[in-house]
């Protein structure tokens, strides 16, 4: 699937109770229809599509352009499906403190197996979106959806404190599309945007397999002292590019920030050296290896191997019942409630093999498109 990025303005406050209760009802009925007709894997796949997810938020009456679409839709789905485990969808995490409880919630769930896999996925997706895609957005929302068959989707959101915009990152059943599992390349199902950031250090770009491999190689063979020496050389670079033997020294205006706390960086290099680094995920999952350490490793890789890093930023809406703040028009509660009842009747009748209303719903879907 083509990668996209959703950038959404931050709206403060919480969803009104009268709206949120209706959101839960309509999203539950839509989810049940998809699961009954197509299965849980298809439901997770659709949730991981940024356009489809945005439409869900708009249909449920939330702001068509608000960052709250992400948090309220995930919260509503979590609330209804975790209370109805017979549908085979289990949802963990959420906004702020709820996101920090993700691993504990996975451990406490009694319906899924191989919990360690989902814990690893939760950790890895968070590290990648917060540290490996350095776009100025810091995660404040993390939700992972899983089913009994081992399928999963992750929906995360980050905030740029300067622009007051949010960005949503979406995943489905994939950590890498490379046959060699030591690399993590182009892993998202969706990240939609009308605006791309000019310079984004993207360590999981489609062209970064060599860069990732270089990091694995020199962390396996080079000493922390040698790596620190290279960083100090970078910090002393003049304003012009010049060659010294096999090394290409970088200009001071290089887009990767080169100011580091050398003492802390040395400790992190020692920590990496103590680990057996076999894959890129081993690097990013090491404790305390964050944004600045990864920047330093990028610069060292460029100096030693000459492979350039990527600065490519990995960048429609529909509505049915209006939005909570009156945009694009006030919420139509009467028709909202009628739609919930209509959808509920469809799924109830579908259980007794009444397919006619399913066909009507499909036709309505095509008309909406």
Together in a domain, 227 and 249: yes
Q: Which residues lie below 8 Å from residue 231, measured CB to CB, with a gap of 6+?
A: 258, 260, 262, 265, 296, 299, 300
Does residue 356 belong to any structural domain of this protein? no
- Indicate the pLDDT class of residue 259, thresholds 50, 70 and 90: confident
Q: For residue 120, is pLDDT > 90?
A: yes
Domain boundary at 147, 162, 197, which? Answer: 197
State which of 197, 226, 241 marks the end of a domain. 197
Q: What is the edge-to-edge ordering of all strands in the sheet holding 165-172?
A: 6-9, 165-172, 152-160, 138-147, 89-95
Concatenating the DSSP letter of every residue in 78-103 gives HHHHTT-GGG-EEEEEEETHHHHTHH
Structural domain includes residue 359: no
Tell me the percentage of the chain whose pLDDT exceeds 90: 45
Is 118 a residue whose pLDDT tops 60?
yes
Per DSSP, the three-state class of 138 is: strand
Q: Is residue 323 part of a domain?
A: no
Residue 366 lies in a domain: no
Q: Are residues 176 and 216 in the same domain?
A: no
Q: Are residues 183 and 241 in the same domain?
A: no
Helices 50-59 and 40-47 cross at an angle (nearest 10°) of 90
For residues 187 and 214, membership in a common domain is answered with no
15 in a domain, yes or no? yes
Q: For residue 350, give the H/E element and its range.
A: helix 333-350
Answer yes or no: do 215 and 193 share one domain: no
Pair (185, 217) in one structural domain: no
At 151 the pLDDT is 96
Final residue in a domain of this structure, among 252, 275, 305: 305
Q: Is residue 365 part of a domain?
A: no
Looking up tokens 């970078």 gives 234
Q: Looking at the structure, tell me whether residues 72 and 193 fall in a common domain.
A: yes
Q: What is the DSSP string of 219-280?
A: HHHS-HHHHHHHHHHHHT--SS-EEETTEEEPPTT-SS-----HHHHHHHHHHHHHS---SH
**Are residues 138 and 108 located together in one domain of the fold?**
yes
How large is the average pLDDT for residues 186-205?
84
Picking from 290, 303, 305, 304, the residue whose alpha carbon sits closest to that of residue 203 is: 290
The Cα 218–Cα 207 span in angstroms is 19
Please tell me what DSSP assigns to residue 159.
E
- Answer whether residue 245 shows pLDDT above 50: no
pLDDT tens-digit map of 311-331:
888 853 344 544 444 544 455
Q: Tell me if 59 sits within 8 A of 318, measured CB to CB.
A: yes
Same domain, 150 and 224: no
* 347 in any annotated domain: no
| pLDDT at residue 297 greater than cutoff 80 | yes
Q: How many domains does the chain have?
A: 2
Query: What distance in Å separates the CA atoms of residue 137 and residue 124, rounded to the nearest whole number?
Result: 17
pLDDT at 143 over 80: yes
d(CA 251, CA 365): 54
Mean pLDDT over each residue of the chain, to the nearest integer: 80
Average pLDDT score over residue span 145-151: 95
Average pLDDT over residues 83-95: 96
Please determine, for residue 45, whether its predicted confidence score (pLDDT) is greater than 80: yes
Q: Do 218 and 189 share a structural domain? A: no
Quote the domain boundaries for residue 269: 209-305
The whole-model pTM stands at 0.80
Residues 142 and 253 in one domain: no
Contacts of 362 (CB under 8 A, 6+ apart): none
Question: Do 112 and 187 have their domain in common?
Answer: yes
């Amino acid at each position: 699937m083509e990668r996209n990025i959703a950038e959404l303005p931050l709206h403060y406050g919480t969803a009104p109770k009268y709206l949120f209760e209706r959101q839960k009802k309509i999203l539950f009925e839509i989810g049940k229809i998809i699961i009954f007709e197509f299965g849980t894997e298809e439901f997770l796949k659709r949730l991981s599509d940024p356009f489809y997810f945005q439409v869900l938020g708009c249909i449920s009456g939330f702001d068509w352009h608000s960052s709250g679409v992400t948090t309220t839709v995930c919260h509503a789905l979590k609330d209804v499906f975790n209370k109805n485990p017979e549908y085979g969808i289990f949802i963990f995490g959420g906004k702020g403190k709820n996101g920090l409880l993700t691993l504990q919630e996975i451990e406490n769930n009694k319906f899924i197996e191989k919990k360690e896999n989902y814990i690893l996925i939760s950790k890895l997706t968070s590290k990648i979106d917060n540290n490996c895609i350095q776009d100025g957005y810091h995660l404040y929302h993390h939700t992972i959806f899983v089913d009994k068959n081992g399928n999963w989707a992750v929906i995360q959101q980050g905030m740029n404190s300067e622009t007051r915009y949010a960005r949503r990152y979406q995943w489905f059943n994939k950590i890498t599309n490379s046959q060699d599992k030591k690399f993590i390349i182009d892993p998202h199902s969706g990240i939609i945007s009308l605006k791309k950031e000019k310079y984004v250090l993207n360590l999981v770009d489609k062209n970064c397999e060599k860069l990732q491999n270089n990091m694995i190689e020199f962390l396996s063979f080079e000493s922390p002292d040698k790596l620190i020496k290279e960083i100090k050389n970078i910090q002393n670079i003049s304003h012009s590019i010049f060659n010294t033997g096999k090394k290409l020294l970088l200009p001071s205006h290089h887009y990767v920030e080169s100011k580091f706390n050398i003492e802390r960086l040395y400790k992190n290099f020692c920590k990496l050296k103590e680990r057996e680094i076999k894959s890129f995920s081993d690097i990013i999952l090491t404790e305390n290896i964050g944004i600045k350490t990864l920047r330093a490793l990028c610069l060292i890789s460029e100096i030693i191997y000459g492979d350039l890093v990527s600065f490519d930023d990995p960048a429609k809406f529909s509505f049915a019942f209006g939005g909570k703040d009156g945009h694009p028009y006030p919420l139509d509660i009467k028709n909202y409630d009628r739609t919930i009842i209509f959808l509920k009747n469809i799924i109830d009748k579908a259980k007794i093999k009444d397919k006619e209303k399913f066909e009507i719903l499909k036709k309505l879907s095509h008309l909406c498109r």
